[in-house]
């Protein structure tokens, strides 16, 4: 019985801050600064949300985050499954070298390539652009690893049968392999979405003006520095930032947790 | 003429056909790999290599337009690191984050996994999901929430202390407390990951072992010590590697919570790299620091995998 008690305390400590965030986002400024704090808002107000959406340009940040995440997810699903197919089922020279190089970079921390990547982007004119936000994440090594593992499990006979019928490699890939990749593609898609939506350090560097901020950059920027905005608006911004991923996670948590458990990746 | 060549020569028609098939397959292989490789090489592999070169130069703001106008200064940046008190402080801070963070992260993750796996049968899904919520949430948002909770004047924590008549401390203004809170935040956010991987590991332990132990009269603690822990060794080592690598790179938590203060005591290496590279525009120096971090990560990983191999 004590196990339940300890687990329940743990759950309160973990979910509590989220509830506190939601409660605080609908309080008035006066109530936020009240000592001792109130749990349930005395006067319910949506002012914080109205302000961040009308005066602070949150619609733009939200759209930026959606655009970046959508393209990053789509390109990873397509490109990783393609190279995964090549590495798993096609014979060509240099194949193992390609796989080794891709694998080796999984361990390289982002900090290592931030500076040259920025130099490269600034010479390409991609600073403060969608291209700059998207390209470094459009082809991620982790996805290659995941896709190759799953595609190796597909029986060769299945592919041979299609080739006998005269199908070219691209048709084999599109008609035979892709339809069998439902679960791994869902896993990769969700993990990539979460990674992109929550990504902070690179967008902080490459988005140099307000119009290119993604949600995490906007929330962080408004929370620190001389012009820090108040906690009511910050909590509303945090709700806007967290709500979509919580929704995705609650609907599809089976894929997320399976993906983590099978790959052991994702620090 | 060798036997093989003789064999090939004896079937003249088969060979060109097979060769064409081989070439076609190779071209298809490269064609399928090309879209990924082009982006990957240009925006990941190339910058990783370039960073090594950059770290031997005096690259700074003025060289941004013409990267080739920077000068090679050999190991100058690396020598400077050893005498930079700010870097040494950042290295110390990173070490504290990694050591305390990793140990606590694994301990809490394992405890939660064991409790969920054997302690309870009902509501397991609820706890699994609840404990995992922070892992998928944005660290930036969570750090902002935590900063509010630990706000000295009107934060929830001091508010609760106030109702018990205790005057709460200035949590994030005190270097020691601030380091502690950042470690707690790292563990709070990440232990769900360790929990999920431990749960998968626990499910791989055959039940017969526990039944045999129970027949021998072992209690819960003895079962844990002599069955669960040894069987989880590979999982634990994998998690140690992954967690260490993750925490060596910690950035968001201190950046949003304290901006590295007070007295730069909460500034890890990655934040100092960011500041040198993008606030002070000493890109060469920042690259040397980043590569030093990378070498440490590689070394730590290698050592941990050695341990993994010799122990299992």
> What are the residues whose beta carbons fall under 8 Å from the beta carbon of B308, sequence distance 6 or more?
B234, B237, B238, B241
Is the CB of A90 less than 8 angstroms away from the CB of B37? no
Q: Tell me which chain B residue has its CA closest to the CA of residue A216.
A: B140
User: What percentage of residues in chain B have a pLDDT greater than 90?
Assistant: 62
Count of Cβ atoms closer than 10 Å to residue B123 Cβ: 14
Smallest CA–CA distance, residue A236 to chain B, in Å, is 10
At B119 the pLDDT is 65
Of A24, A113, A264, the CB nearest to B197: A264
Cα–Cα distance measured from residue B272 to residue B278, given in angstroms and rounded to the nearest whole number: 10
Residues of B with Cβ-Cβ distance to A92 under 8 angstroms: 25-30
Cα–Cα distance measured from residue A19 to residue A17, given in angstroms and rounded to the nearest whole number: 5
At B20 the pLDDT is 55
Residue B142, pLDDT > 60, answer yes
Contact status, residue A173 vs residue A85, Cβ threshold 8 Å: yes
At B15 the pLDDT is 42
Residues β-bridged to residue B57: B72
pLDDT tens across B85-119, in order?
A: 999 999 999 999 999 999 999 999 999 999 888 76
Contact status, residue B137 vs residue A198, Cβ threshold 8 Å: yes
Contact status, residue B155 vs residue B149, Cβ threshold 8 Å: yes
Cα–Cα distance measured from residue A120 to residue A118, given in angstroms and rounded to the nearest whole number: 5
Residue B304, pLDDT > 70, answer yes
Q: Tell me which chain B residue has its CA closest to the CA of residue A206.
A: B278
Residues of B with Cβ-Cβ distance to A75 under 8 angstroms: 39
Identify the band that residue B311 occupies on the pLDDT scale cut at 50, 70 and 90.
low
Handedness of CA B129, B134, B136, B137 (dihedral sign): positive
Identify the band that residue B184 occupies on the pLDDT scale cut at 50, 70 and 90.
very high
At B293 the pLDDT is 93
Smallest CA–CA distance, residue B311 to chain A, in Å, is 20
- Please state the rounded mean pLDDT for residues A165-181: 90
Counting every residue written for chain A, the total comes to: 267
Higher model confidence: residue B261 or residue B274? B274
Q: What is the DSSP string of A82-119?
A: HHHHHHHH---TTHHHHHHHHHHHHTS-HHHHHHHHHH
Is the CB of A116 less than 8 angstroms away from the CB of B51? yes
Check if B261 contacts A (Cβ < 8 Å).
no
Residues of B with Cβ-Cβ distance to A136 under 8 angstroms: 43-44
Q: What are the tokens at B271?
A: 């934040």
Mutate to test the interface with A, among B43, B61, B115 (most CBs of A within 10 A): B43
Is the CB of B138 less than 8 angstroms away from the CB of A13? no
At B282 the pLDDT is 93
> What are the residues whose beta carbons fall under 8 Å from the beta carbon of A239, sequence distance 6 or more?
A21, A22, A25
- Please state the rounded mean pLDDT for residues B156-180: 92
Residues β-bridged to residue B72: B57
Of A17, A114, A198, the CB nearest to B145: A17
Residue B285, pLDDT > 70, answer yes
Residues of A with Cβ-Cβ distance to B255 under 8 angstroms: 220
E strand intervals along A109-256: none
E strand intervals along chain A: none
At A260 the pLDDT is 73
At B11 the pLDDT is 45
Check if B237 contacts A (Cβ < 8 Å).
no
Cα–Cα distance measured from residue B301 to residue A145, given in angstroms and rounded to the nearest whole number: 19
- Please state the rounded mean pLDDT for residues B43-51: 93
Cα–Cα distance measured from residue B310 to residue B312, given in angstroms and rounded to the nearest whole number: 6
pLDDT tens across A125-168, in order?
A: 999 999 999 999 999 998 998 899 999 999 999 998 888 888 88
pLDDT tens across A32-73, in order?
A: 888 778 888 888 999 999 999 999 999 999 999 999 999 999
Residue B60, pLDDT > 70, answer yes
Quick one: how far is CA B64 from the chain centroid? 30
- Please state the rounded mean pLDDT for residues A176-188: 91
Residues of B with Cβ-Cβ distance to A87 under 8 angstroms: 33
Residue B167, pLDDT > 80, answer yes
Q: What is the DSSP string of chain B?
A: --HHHHHHHH-TTHHHHHHHHHHHHHHHHHHHHHHHHHHHIIIIIHHHHHHHHHTTB---GGGSS-GGG--B-TTHHHHHHHT-HHHHHHHHHHHHHHHHHHHHHHHHHHHHHHIIIII-STTHHHHHHHHHHHHHS-HHHHHHHHHHHT-TTT-HHHHHHHHTT-----GGGSHHHHHHHHHHHHHHHHHHHHHHHHHHHHHTS-HHHHHHHHHTT--HHHHIIIIIHHHTHHHHHHHHHHHHHHHHT--HHHHHHTTT-STTTT--HHHHHHIIIIIS--HHHHHHHHHHHHHHHHHHHHHHHHHHHHH-
Is the CB of B144 less than 8 angstroms away from the CB of A109? no
Residues of A with Cβ-Cβ distance to B281 under 8 angstroms: none
- Please state the rounded mean pLDDT for residues B299-303: 88
pLDDT tens across A81-96, in order?
A: 999 999 999 999 999 9
Contact status, residue A112 vs residue B298, Cβ threshold 8 Å: no
Cα separations in angstroms, B127 against A12, A121, A246:
10, 44, 15
Identify the band that residue B275 occupies on the pLDDT scale cut at 50, 70 and 90.
very high
Average pLDDT along chain B: 88
Residue B19, pLDDT > 60, answer no
Average pLDDT along chain A: 90
Smallest CA–CA distance, residue B26 to chain A, in Å, is 4
Phi-psi region of A27 (alpha: psi -120 to 50; beta: other; left: phi over 0): beta
Is the CB of A36 less than 8 angstroms away from the CB of B146? no
At B312 the pLDDT is 52
User: What percentage of residues in chain B have a pLDDT greater than 70?
Assistant: 91
Residue A212, pLDDT > 60, answer yes
At B13 the pLDDT is 43
- Please state the rounded mean pLDDT for residues B219-235: 90
Contact status, residue A113 vs residue B293, Cβ threshold 8 Å: no
Contact status, residue B276 vs residue B197, Cβ threshold 8 Å: no
Residue B12, pLDDT > 50, answer no
Identify the band that residue A15 occupies on the pLDDT scale cut at 50, 70 and 90.
very high
ipTM: 0.91
Identify the band that residue A263 occupies on the pLDDT scale cut at 50, 70 and 90.
low
Is the CB of B294 less than 8 angstroms away from the CB of A194? no
């Amino acid at each position: 019985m004590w196990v339940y008690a300890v687990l329940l305390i743990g759950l309160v400590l973990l979910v509590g801050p989220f509830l506190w965030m939601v409660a605080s986002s609908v309080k008035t400024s006066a109530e936020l600064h009240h000592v001792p704090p109130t749990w349930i808002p005395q006067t319910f107000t949506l002012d914080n949300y109205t302000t961040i959406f009308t005066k602070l340009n949150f619609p733009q940040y939200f759209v930026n985050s959606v655009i970046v995440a959508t393209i990053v997810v789509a390109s990873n699903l397509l490109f990783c499954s393609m190279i995964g197919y090549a590495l798993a089922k096609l014979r060509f020279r240099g194949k193992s070298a390609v796989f080794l190089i891709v694998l080796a970079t999984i361990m390289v921390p982002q900090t290592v390539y931030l500076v040259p990547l920025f130099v490269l982007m600034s010479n390409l004119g991609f600073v403060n652009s969608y291209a700059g936000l998207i390209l470094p994440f459009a082809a991620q090594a982790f996805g290659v690893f995941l896709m190759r593992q799953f595609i190796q499990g597909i029986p060769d006979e299945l592919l041979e049968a299609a080739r006998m019928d005269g199908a070219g490699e691209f048709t084999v890939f599109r008609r035979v392999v892709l339809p069998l990749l439902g679960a791994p593609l869902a896993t990769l898609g969700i993990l990539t979405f979460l990674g992109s939506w929550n990504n902070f350090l690179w967008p902080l560097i490459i988005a140099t003006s307000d119009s290119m901020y993604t949600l995490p950059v906007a929330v962080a920027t408004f929370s620190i520095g001389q012009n820090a905005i108040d906690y009511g608006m910050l909590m509303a911004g945090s709700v806007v930032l967290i709500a979509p991923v919580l929704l995705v996670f609650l609907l599809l948590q089976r894929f997320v947790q399976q993906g983590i458990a099978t790959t052991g990746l994702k620090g | 003429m060798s036997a093989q060549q003789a064999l090939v020569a004896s079937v003249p028609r088969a060979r060109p056909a097979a060769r064409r098939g081989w070439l076609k397959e190779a071209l298809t292989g490269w064609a399928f790999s090309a879209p990924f490789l082009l982006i990957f090489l240009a925006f990941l592999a190339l910058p990783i290599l370039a960073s090594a070169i950059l770290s031997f130069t005096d690259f700074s703001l003025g060289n941004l337009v013409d990267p080739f106008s920077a000068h090679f200064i050999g190991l100058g940046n690396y020598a400077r690191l050893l005498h930079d008190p700010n870097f040494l402080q950042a290295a110390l801070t990173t070490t504290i984050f990694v050591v305390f963070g990793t140990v606590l992260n694994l301990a809490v993750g394992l405890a939660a996994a064991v409790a969920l796996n054997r302690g309870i049968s009902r509501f397991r899904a609820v706890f699994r999901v609840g404990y995992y919520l922070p892992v998928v949430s944005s660290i930036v948002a969570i750090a902002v929430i935590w900063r509010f909770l630990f706000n000295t004047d009107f934060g929830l924590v001091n508010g609760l202390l106030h109702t018990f008549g205790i005057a709460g401390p200035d949590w994030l203004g005190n270097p020691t407390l601030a380091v502690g809170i950042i470690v707690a935040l790292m563990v709070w956010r990440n232990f769900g990951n360790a929990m999920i991987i431990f749960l998968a590991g626990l499910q791989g332990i055959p039940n017969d072992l526990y039944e045999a132990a129970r027949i021998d009269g072992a209690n819960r603690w003895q079962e844990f010590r002599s069955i669960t822990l040894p069987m989880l060794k590979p999982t634990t080592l994998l998690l140690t590697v992954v967690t260490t690598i993750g925490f060596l790179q910690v950035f968001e938590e201190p950046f949003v919570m304290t901006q590295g203060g007070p007295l730069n005591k909460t500034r890890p290496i990655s934040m100092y790299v960011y500041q040198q590279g993008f606030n002070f525009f000493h890109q060469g120096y920042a690259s040397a620091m980043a590569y030093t971090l990378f070498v440490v990560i590689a070394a730590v990983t290698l050592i941990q995998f050695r341990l993994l191999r010799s122990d299992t």
